[in-house]
Every structure is written in structure tokens, then in C-alpha cells.
Amino acid sequence: WDTPAEEIRDAIVNRGFCGIKPYLNNSPAYIPAAEVRIFDYLTHEHLKVADELGAIVMLHIPRSMRLRDPVNLAQMLEINDKYPNAKVIIAHIGRAYSVEDFGDAFEVMKRATNLYWDFTANCLPEGIEEVIKMAGVDRVMFGSDMPITKMRMYRITENGKYLNVVPRGIYGDVSNDPNMRETDETDITTFMYEELRAFKKAAEKLNLSREDVEKILCKNAAKLFGME
């Protein structure tokens, strides 16, 4: 929030950066973490620069209600309306890791036609399906979220909360992590594989074409980042 807009402009124009990825811990220290809003760490001054330059903004949204949070929805719509030339990507499908995170978000966000979405580190087929139905195959992207997706794990949801199930002992003591659970299962693959498998399920349910899949896995990002 306190990075000067001109520093961001210089980084993009003169130093090879393609954009910014602000994070909620960049917000003012006096704001409690649960109360942080998007504009507390992604300021209008930053967005104006991104809009002028057509730069990337990778946005990890805050707040415990995640995608369905009304404050998040209102501010994402404001970004869509005020900064149409900024290439804003809503990461992780807005952290919608369970169906309970949806609320009416996909209906509300239908008109946000300037925003892009990725499903990095998201293993929920229903979420990937809904975001593709809402935004279409031209504004949704795969992302790896490496190196975190090297983890050996699979994901489940219980009572609206996601849980990463991991081999016992491999990641130390996880007893205090509300989103981790250990298992004695041995045939556990990787986070990356689980993400790709979730996309495969969504793609099959939506009957996506090979061209659609190629757009989502590669071509949309290549176009957005000017790598075609």
C-alpha cells in the first residue's frame, strides 16, 4: 500500500516487470487481518498505473468469506469498472476452495467482463466449472502456484472448510494448522496433479473442446502476458 506508484511504473517500464502481485500482508499494520479489504493493499494509485500501462495485477483476495464476501465482490466490481485496461487476474478463483465459498458470487461477477481468473492451487472441480461457465474459456487460466504444488497431498472439504490431507510426518507437526490433516495412506500424489485432475473433471463435464483446453492451459496466459 505504501509503495509509490512511480516506483511501480518504473519497474514495469524500465526494469522488465510485467505487473504486480500485491498481498494482504502489505496492508497497513493497524488494520486487523480479518478486516483487510482489497483497496487496503492494492491502492487506486497502483491500479491507475496498471490501467495506464495495461499491466498485470495478480490479485489474491482477502477476508474469511473469500469469494462470497460482499466487500470483496463490491471492490472487484469497482476494479472492473474503473480500470478496464489493467489485466487483473483473480487468483485461486477468489480462494473458493469449497462450494460454501461461492454464495452468489458467480452470478454477481457475470458483468465483470474485464477481469481474468485462474485456478492455481484450487482442486475443486465445481469451482473450476462455475468460473468457466461465468467467464468463458477466454478469461480463465491454469496456474501452477509452484513450488507449493509440489506437496504430496489431496484436498477434501468438511463443513465448508478445505483440508489438505498429507502423509503422516512428512511436513512436521501440522496439529495446529486447521487446514491440514495427516493420514497413513501411502498412494498420495501431488497437489499439482490434484489441481489438474480437478480441471479435467470440469472440462469433461462442460464438454470443452481441445481448443478450449489449450486456451485455458496455455494460450490465454500467453496472450495476456504478450508471449504469443
Confidence of residue 64 (pLDDT cuts 50, 70, 90): very high
* Separation CA 12–CA 124 (nearest Å): 34
- Domain of 74, CATH number, reads 3.20.20.140
pTM of the model: 0.96
* Separation CA 40–CA 26 (nearest Å): 8
> Which pLDDT does position 58 carry in this prediction?
98
- One domain for residues 121 and 158: no
- One domain for residues 72 and 182: no
- One domain for residues 86 and 170: no
- Region 39-46: mean pLDDT is 98
* Separation CA 24–CA 32 (nearest Å): 11
* Separation CA 130–CA 9 (nearest Å): 35
- One domain for residues 67 and 134: yes
Confidence of residue 228 (pLDDT cuts 50, 70, 90): confident
- One domain for residues 120 and 185: no
Q: Give pLDDT tens digits for 85-98.
A: 999 999 999 999 99
What range defines the domain where residue 111 resides? 5-144+192-224
- One domain for residues 102 and 173: no
- One domain for residues 88 and 162: no
Cβ atoms 67, 107 nearer than 8 A = no
- One domain for residues 74 and 136: yes
- One domain for residues 17 and 97: yes
- One domain for residues 18 and 130: yes
Q: Is 124 helix (H, G, I), strand (E, B) or coil?
A: coil
Confidence of residue 131 (pLDDT cuts 50, 70, 90): very high
